Amino acid sequence: MAGQQARQAGQTQRTIHVGGEWREAASRATREILDPADAKPFAVVAEGDERDADAAVAAARRAFDSGEWPHTPVAERAALLRRVADLLVRDRESLGLLESRDAGKTLEEGRVDIDCVADAFRYFADLVVGEGGGRVVDAGSPDIHSVVVHEPVGVCAMITPWNYPLLQASWKIAPALAAGNTFVIKPSEITPLTTAALVDLFVEAGAPAGVANIVTGPGHTVGARLAEHPDVDLISFTGGLASGTKVAQAAAVSVKKVALELGGKNPNVVFADACETDEDFDTAVDQALNAAFIHSGQVCSAGGRLIVEESVRERFVAELVRRAGRIRLGRGTEDGVECGPLVSEQQREKVEGFVASALAEGAVLRTGGRRPEPSDVRPAAGYFFEPTVLDQCHRGMKVVREEVFGPVLTVETFRTEDEAVALANDTEYGLAGAVWTSDAGRARRVAGRLRHGTVWINDFHPYLPQAEWGGFGKSGVGRELGPAGLAEYRETKHVYQNLAPKPVRWFAG
C-alpha cells in the first residue's frame, strides 16, 4: 500500500525524498513524532538540514530545466493528479488515521480532510484541462499575431503548517503541478507523516523523478534555506505572522514570488433576528460552537470572536456555555469523541497564557479554562484543554487582538449594525468572518463592508475548491484555490509574432 514507508510506527522513516529516491538526512539526524493524545512517540522521521534542502532544490531544478515535466501535455499532467486523487480515496482510512494521530484531530475530521484533498487534486486537473491556449491581443494588423500565454514559474518551495498537514499541502501542490512546476515541500516538523505519504503516492502514480521532493526538518534550517535559495522561483508559506515575515524578508533578496497565508482573528457576528425561532437560535449556537471549537480551535479561520447583539447576548451565551461544557474530549480515534488534544505541550501552554491574560484584563470565565481530568479516553499525559468561553471581552484585551489557535471563544456585544461592522473590522487580520441574520438586505450590506477575504452568511467554515482563499491585512498575500490559486504558480508571457516583417529604417545604413 502506498505510503507504507511513512507509516511503519516505531521505525526510522526515510521521509526525505530527493530526485526520485527516499533517503536519510545528510546528518543522519532523526526526530520522534509524538501522539498528542498521550505524548508517546509513535514514529521516527529523518531530520533534514540545509544540505538536504540544497539537494532537493537541485533535483527540482534539474527536473524543471530538463523540460520533461513543464512540457508534458496538459492532459497528462491532469491525469497524474487524478491518479493521485484515486490513490487518496483508496488509502482514505489509513491516511485519515495517520492524520488523526499526527495532528490530534478526530478520526472523522481526518477522513474528511482526505476527501477534501482528493477533491482539490481533481479540481485543478479539470481546471487546467479546460483552459484555452492563451488570450489573443488585437494588435490592429492582420500581419501581427499577439497572444498572452501562461507558463510555469519553475521550482516552487512550499512550507506548510501543523494543523491541516495534508490539506494545506494539497492546496499548494495540486496547482503547482497542474501548471507544470516542480516542487520541494517542507511540512511542519511535528506533523510530517501524511505529507511524506502523499509524496509516496506521487511516486506510485508515476511522477517523474525530481518533480515531487520533500525535506522534513525544522523551519529555522530547512525552511529558512528554501526561502532564501537562489534557485527557488516561488516560495509559498502557510503559518504564523512572525515566521511569514521572515520568509518574505529572505525571499526579497532574490526577488522570488511569494505567497503567504498567515493568521486570522475571525469575527462571527450574530444579529438578534437570526435567533427569532427556536430552530434558528439552535442553528446559530451550533455553528458558533463549530466555528470556535472544531479541531480544538487550531484553525486559521476559527471563529474565535463571537460578536453578538446585546438583546440576545445572555440567552445566546448561556446556551453556548451549556453546550461547550458537554463537548466530549479525548483521543481522536475513540468513538464518541468530539474534540481532540492540542498539538503539543507548547501550544497548550500558549493557550493557557492567553486565558490567564484575559482574566487579568477583566474577562469573565463562563466555562473551561483548564486542563480536564483524565479518563479512559483522555490519557493524563495528553495535551488536552477544555473548550473555553470568555465573556465581557473588549478589543483592548490580548485574547481578542491576537490569534489564540486553541479552543477559546471570546464574547463581545453590539447594539447597532454600524457598531457590529466596526468591531468585526477592528483587527490587524482579515482572513474570514461570518454574519448571521434573517434580513437579506442586512446580510449583503454587512458582508460588503467586512474587510475579510472570506465572508460566510448564515454559515461558518465551508470552503469550495473553485473559490479563492486568502486574506486582507496581516492575514497574508496571494490566493489559494480557484483560478487565482493556479495563477499563483504561473508567469505571464506576451508572444508577439510579426507575420510579414519589414525594415523599420530608424537608422541610416
Q: Distances from the Cα of 384 to the Cαs of 64, 305, 442, in angstroms?
A: 45, 21, 39
Angle at 122 between CA 119 and CA 123, to 5 degrees: 80
Catalytic residue among 47, 99, 189, 261: 261
Catalytic residue among 156, 275, 300, 393: 300
Q: Residue 246 contacts by C-beta under 8 Å, 6 or more apart in sequence?
A: 224, 227
Please identify which residue in the block is written with the cell numbers 497548550: 348
- Determine how many CB atoms are found less than 10 A away from the CB of residue 186: 29
Give yes or no for a contact between 179 and 131, defined as CB atoms under 8 angstroms apart: no
Which residue, among 302, 316, 303, 314, has the nearest Cα to 274 in the 3D structure?
A: 316
Angle at 449 between CA 443 and CA 451, to 5 degrees: 120
How are beta strands 234-238 and 257-261 bridged, if at all? parallel
Element (H, E) at 486: helix 482-487
261 is catalytic: yes
**Region for 17 from its dihedrals, namely left if φ exceeds 0, alpha if ψ lies in -120 to 50, beta otherwise:** beta
- Measure CA 25 to chain center: 26
**From CA 483, how far away is CA 488, in angstroms rounded?**
9
Maximum CA extent, the chain? 92
Q: Which amino acid is at 179?
A: A
Q: Helix, strand, coil % (nearest 5) of the chain?
A: 40, 20, 40
Which residue, among 167, 207, 204, has the nearest Cα to 183 in the 3D structure?
A: 207
Which residue, among 217, 216, 208, has the nearest Cα to 77 in the 3D structure?
A: 208
419 grid coordinates: 457598531
**From CA 154, how far away is CA 163, in angstroms rounded?**
28
Which residue, among 456, 449, 451, has the nearest Cα to 430 in the 3D structure?
A: 451
> Which are the catalytic amino acids?
261, 300
